[in-house]
Amino acid sequence: MTLHSLDELIADGVRGRYVLVRSDLNVPLDGPDEHRSVTDDGRIKASLPVISRLAQAGARVLVCAHLGRPKGKPEAKYSLKPAAERLAEIASAQSVKVSLASDTTGESARGLSAAMADGDVLVLENVRFDGRETSKDGSARSALAGELAGLTGDDGAYVDDAFGAVHRRHASVYDVARLLPSYQGDLVQTELTVLKKLTADTPRPYVVVLGGSKVSDKLAVIENLIGKADSILVGGGMVFTFLAAQGFKVGTSLLEQDQVPSVQDYLQRAADAGTTFVLPTDIVVAAKFAADADHGVVAAEDMEGGRLGADCAGLDIGPDSAVLFAERIRGARTVFWNGPMGVFEFPAFAEGTRAVAQALADATAAGGFTVVGGGDSAAAVRTLGFTDDKFGHISTGGGASLEFLEGKELPGLTALDDTDDSERER
């Protein structure tokens, strides 16, 4: 696979040229629909360097991005306005001017882009407000891609800097890259460099920490890591399917009963391949899913025998398990973590996630290579007060990171590959 870099594009000259950048501004928001604010600007800060480099080199930068999952039409709560305002705020420190179009390829986008000066940045409104973005109809996606490419004029270029979207065959990720000279952004390049370290010649011991709600979301990556990782530590809601696979009762905890046979198979295959699954020995259980719920700690094999009985649900790994997990992590040379250990948004059920985050920070300080796999894990470490520099790398693409580790082809990267450049339409 041959991917051209941003350095190559800038070296070729971008002053006066329009460059369409696919960024990842899919950030969490809070507040009423018309007055929402950004609660975690990590992805915005990660997107700024490429936007800034191009603007300072004299490009006219068109930023394309999505936020949330609107149903193919404008919805106020999914507007990019809060993200664009935050981008403009932090970009102003670098003397980069950022404005926002009220549509993606319509009258506002066309008018504002035509009026841009060298070094200006224009954020196009949420690309998913146009149903063609995610359409399964290739001709519909191609039509939208053509409109996006059309905004760049006769000498435009495309930069994909949204690693969190490269696993999607969407118009702004895949189809437009077939229409313009295309390059990988620095963020995508960094993500690939980091993730490749997790799949080849990985320093050992190699520990993987998996959490989150559903084991079905992680089965493919688990399968691909068996025999590669030395230990796989399992927490979050997905752990209850593992406990059920060992014959334990799990009360009212999240359970994917249909996945129990697969988990049993993985447990056996891992034992044969030299990969150790480490499961919690104790669980923080609660009577209901609420921040103020009556809760307590029970042994993992006795969830229905504790004070809360069969009506309890597990919402975090217990304190003994947190110590066990932390010891494994601190003893590793490589750690990949995807998914919180519990409902970290509620203080009573955040300690397992906090312990894992602190252990990763300790492993980093000791010279280990640590990767926080984006999504809820990235949100968790920031919510719990950890700064990004405490970890080797915080991915901006949770789903994309997992699919890369699963060994899947990522359409956004395939579209950037010019090994056979004759396939491009222009």
Is 377 annotated to bind a ligand? Reply is yes
Active site members: 43, 214, 375, 399
Beta strands 231-234 and 206-210, pairing class: parallel
Is 168 annotated to bind a ligand? Reply is yes
Residues found in the chain: 426
Is 42 annotated to bind a ligand? Reply is no
Distance CA 281, CA 161 (A): 41
Is 187 annotated to bind a ligand? Reply is no
Contact 325, 235 (CB under 8 A): yes
Is 308 annotated to bind a ligand? Reply is no
Where does residue 322 rank: exposed (0-12), middle (13-18), buried (19+ CB within 10 A)?
Answer: buried
Is 251 annotated to bind a ligand? Reply is no
Contact 307, 337 (CB under 8 A): no
Contact 165, 24 (CB under 8 A): yes
Is 218 annotated to bind a ligand? Reply is yes
Is 247 annotated to bind a ligand? Reply is no
Q: Which residues contact 198 (CB under 8 A, 6 or more apart)?
A: 206, 334, 336, 371, 405
Is 22 annotated to bind a ligand? Reply is no
Adjacent-strand bridge partners of 370: 335
Strands of the sheet containing 182-184, edge to edge, are 98-100, 121-123, 60-64, 18-22, 157-160, 182-184
Is 43 annotated to bind a ligand? Reply is yes
C-alpha triplet 52, 108, 54: angle, nearest 5° = 15
Is 68 annotated to bind a ligand? Reply is yes
Is 314 annotated to bind a ligand? Reply is yes
Adjacent-strand bridge partners of 206: 334
Is 253 annotated to bind a ligand? Reply is no
What are the binding residues for substrate? Answer: 24-26, 43, 66-69, 128, 168
What are the binding residues for (2R)-3-phosphoglycerate? Answer: 43, 128, 168
What are the binding residues? Answer: 24-26, 43, 66-69, 128, 168, 218, 314, 345, 374-377
